[in-house]
Structure 1
Amino acid sequence: MPCLGSTIATAMFSRRFLLAAAAASTLWISACSQAVPTKISVTQAQLEQGLKKQFPKQFPIAGLLQLDMQQPQLLLLPVSNQLQTDWVVQLSGPALRQSFSGQMRVRFGLYYEPKDRSVRAQRVEVLSLQLEDANPAIAEMVQTYGQRVAQQALQGFALYTVKPEEMELMDNLGLRPGAITVTGQGLDVAIEAQPAAAAK
């Protein structure tokens, strides 16, 4: 005849095992039900809002002139994975008797800056910088110095900042923002695994 104490102990062990198994199953289901993000989608409207925070801006040229850049128009270029912006600009300064208005077109790529969670411009290329009614000397000065100043000034300017709650979720899952892809609607910021050293 089996020992009563042994039977009770076996029953208690089985009950504990079933409870532990049920708890583990609940945790697994909960973890699986939380979708792991694969990207952050940024709309064109969000990018334009980021530009509004950066401009208008004023840049000195050769210590004698000032280039004012107004709010730009944004164009998405998925084929080249770039953005293009068209600015209305104005050139003024003590070396001029009048101010000159014009247009500037810029194209650039993007990168992610982890220090402040921002998406920033890189490889800035000034495609054109033209002023209306400027004499040849002024036009030559703008071509010589203006494009270089604009290129240097625009390098690294921020268009978007990843939200703190998005970063918290990624940190908890051992993930981080990665490659940036320009789409027809905006940007896709890929989410990738952190390196082993960074994840610890």
Structure 2
Amino acid sequence: MQRRLFFSAAVCASFGNLARANAPDADDAPGKPPGVTVPTAVLQSSVAQRFPMRYPVQGLLNLDLQTPTLSLLPAQNRLRAAMVVNAAGPALNRGHRGTFDLDFALRYEASDRTLRAHQLRIDRLRFPSLQPGVVELLNTYAPALAEQSLREVVLHRLQPQDLRMADAMGMQPGTITVTDAGLVIGFVLKPL
């Protein structure tokens, strides 16, 4: 038992040193858990591949979500997405352009090695060219629509090479920490 604990500690320490050596902005604090860093530019590029998205609202209109602009919220360990949305359809005389912001936490999905948005909080939709009553109606349904359509959106997929060494050492992704430089995905020992 002591040999396994000693071996695990040695592996964690050496993997942590390797991960810090490969991460340009990682600090060298002793005892820092091993992990991998995903820079903001990589996240933004990954998200851009999944947009635009179209969501119909009960045959009344379509909402076309454009590529969001991501920003990091390290103090809350969350991300913010500034979204542009185009609304058009039978209920509207013409197309309207609006915006909204949402922030969210992240979770790791082991089945496909993805980082996914969850715990969404949406800010109000803003459509300057729509009547206030219509905007209010859209805002009534916006949280449910965002939860239904954007929850579990894949923000990034870890590549097999990102996890190869961790797998060989009996480790798996654990915590996801939002920093000023991007995300740090910490590795933990796999359960026995």
Q: Structure 1 residue 186: deviation in Å?
A: 0.4
Q: Structure 1: give runs of 5+ residues left out of the alignment.
A: 1-30
Q: Which residue of 2 aligns with 1:22?
A: none
Q: Structure 1 residue 95: deviation in Å?
A: 1.5
Q: Which residue of 2 aligns with 1:36?
A: 15
Q: Structure 2: give runs of 5+ residues left out of the alignment.
A: 1-9, 17-33
Classify the secondary structure of the residue corresponding to 1:35. helix
Classify the secondary structure of the residue corresponding to 2:126. strand
Matched, 1:184 2:180: yes
Q: How many residues align?
A: 166
Cα RMSD of the aligned pairs, angstroms, is 1.8
**Aligned partners of 2:76, 2:43: CA distance in 1, in Å?**
18
- When normalised by structure 1's length, the TM-score is 0.78
Letter in 1 for 2:99: Q
For 1:122-141, what per-residue CA distance to the aligned partner results, in whole angstroms no more than 9, with x for missing partners?
10111121112211332122
**Aligned partners of 1:147, 1:175: CA distance in 2, in Å?**
37
**Aligned match of 2:110 in 92, 110, 114?**
114
**Aligned partners of 1:108, 1:54: CA distance in 2, in Å?**
17
**Aligned partners of 1:153, 1:177: CA distance in 2, in Å?**
26
Letter in 1 for 2:61: L
Higher helix share: 1
Classify the secondary structure of the residue corresponding to 2:141. helix
For 1:32-73, what per-residue CA distance to the aligned partner results, in whole angstroms no more than 9, with x for missing partners?
8x9314011000001101111111111111331111111111
**Aligned partners of 2:166, 2:156: CA distance in 1, in Å?**
17
Q: Displaced runs of 4+ in structure 1, greater than 3 A?
A: none
